[in-house]
Amino acid sequence: MPAPLAAGKMKAIALISGGLDSVLAAKIVKDQGISVVGVHVKMPFIKSENYAISSSAEIGIPLVIVRADEEFLQVVRNPKFGYGTAMNPCIDCRIFMLRKARDIAERTGASFIITGEVLDERPMSQHWRALRLTAREAGLEGFVLRPLSAKLLPRTIPEIEGWIDRKNLLAIRGRSRKMQIALARNLGISLSHVASPAGGCLLTNREFAAKLRDLFAHKSHVSVSDVERLKVGRHFRFKQFKIIVGRNADENNRLLSMKRPSDVVLEVPRIGSPITLLENENLSADIIERAVDADLSSEVDSDVDEVRAAIETAARITARYSDARYMPGVEVIVRYADKKQSFFVKPARDDDIAELRIY
């Protein structure tokens, strides 16, 4: 970390998640005469950017938004310190964010980092050993000030050097929110501008985690658009093929907007039906076209036959979730590029597809 400015107002970087704790921490330090710049690390697994913007504006600090896309996906795939209850690498995530804050601090001449962490509020990442570990791994040992719990923690360099008055810091501990809510009222901070603590990170959701684990197992390079697909529809795995089935009109539209050139699209015509995407980016367009063109009863090459089996499975699942699910035979329209074919299939039974469902 750089030394404090020789002249002018001292500057600090505050990690702003969009939640109440982080904005309270930034406000406490700002009220001590420090110039605070907020940093929000935007990740594909949690949507709190708007709250970060509104809460920063309310306390009068500028906000820098840092995108964490493929770089953070590599952290999630291979976390040094492991996962929590699902696919949440909480300690590695904190280190990642602190490093981003450190980078901005070094570029802007800021002297220390502020976070809204509360001692023992979160079991994996906010006990004392984890707090010490994350600061050390980020190259910030002694330079991370946690104003909400500072009186319960060893003195940091900002306190030792007198940049911050420790008497004005707090001693909050545990999961209760009563003290933070009372403090927000005293400081005039509206709770409508902060994210609910129950909003959560998708990586802690077991169903989403199962989809992400499956994605990592079948794809060497995962993009943010791949992750966005995990948030929509029911997901099934048939061999190397992923089948995504819309659950309502909104999800149908979202899937169509996410469609890639390599995707096969299925739906039941003239009746309430999901949109289904059959994806496999490793197959040539020629093989997919031949599979779509081929009648289900005709003889084809083995590579085409495998695609056709996937199409038939996707068609039966599509029929199962359509309004024609109880009919003995259902027409399913299959589209790929400029190819279109109608298949008549028997709707899948729940027992048939249970082992294909990813959850």
Q: pLDDT per residue over 252-285, tens digit each?
A: 999 999 999 999 999 999 999 999 999 987 777 8
Residue range 132-152: mean pLDDT, rounded: 98
What's the predicted TM-score (pTM) here?
Answer: 0.91
Q: Half-sphere exposure of 213 toward its Cβ, with a 13 Å CA cutoff?
A: 15
| pLDDT of 162 over the 90 cut | yes
Give just the sign of the alpha carbon dihedral 265, 273, 333, 298: positive
**27 and 189 in contact (C-beta within 8 Å)?**
yes
d(CA 255, CA 346): 24
pLDDT digits (tens, 9 = 90+) for 87-100: 999 999 999 999 99
Say what the pLDDT of residue 220 is: 92
In this structure, the strands spanning 264-267 and 276-279 are antiparallel
Say what the pLDDT of residue 296 is: 58
DSSP state of 88: -
Amino acid at 101: A
**262 and 283 in contact (C-beta within 8 Å)?**
yes
| pLDDT of 125 over the 50 cut | yes
Say what the pLDDT of residue 275 is: 98
Say what the pLDDT of residue 80 is: 97
Q: What's the pLDDT band for 134 if we cut at 50, 70, 90?
A: very high
Q: Half-sphere exposure of 35 toward its Cβ, with a 13 Å CA cutoff?
A: 13
Say what the pLDDT of residue 1 is: 63
**224 and 70 in contact (C-beta within 8 Å)?**
yes
Q: What's the pLDDT band for 6 if we cut at 50, 70, 90?
A: very low
Residue-range domains of the chain with CATH: 11-201 (3.40.50.620), 232-356 (no CATH)
pLDDT digits (tens, 9 = 90+) for 173-213: 999 999 999 999 999 999 988 887 655 799 999 999 999 99
d(CA 56, CA 27): 9
pLDDT digits (tens, 9 = 90+) for 280-324: 877 778 888 888 777 656 666 788 888 999 999 999 999 999 999
295: phi then psi, degrees, rounded to nearest 5: -70, 145
Distance from CA of residue 150 to its chain's centroid? 29
d(CA 299, CA 136): 63
Say what the pLDDT of residue 5 is: 46
DSSP state of 119: B
Say what the pLDDT of residue 283 is: 75
Q: What's the pLDDT band for 109 if we cut at 50, 70, 90?
A: very high
d(CA 321, CA 246): 9
d(CA 315, CA 281): 19
pLDDT digits (tens, 9 = 90+) for 19-77: 999 999 999 999 999 999 999 999 999 989 999 999 999 999 999 999 999 999 999 99
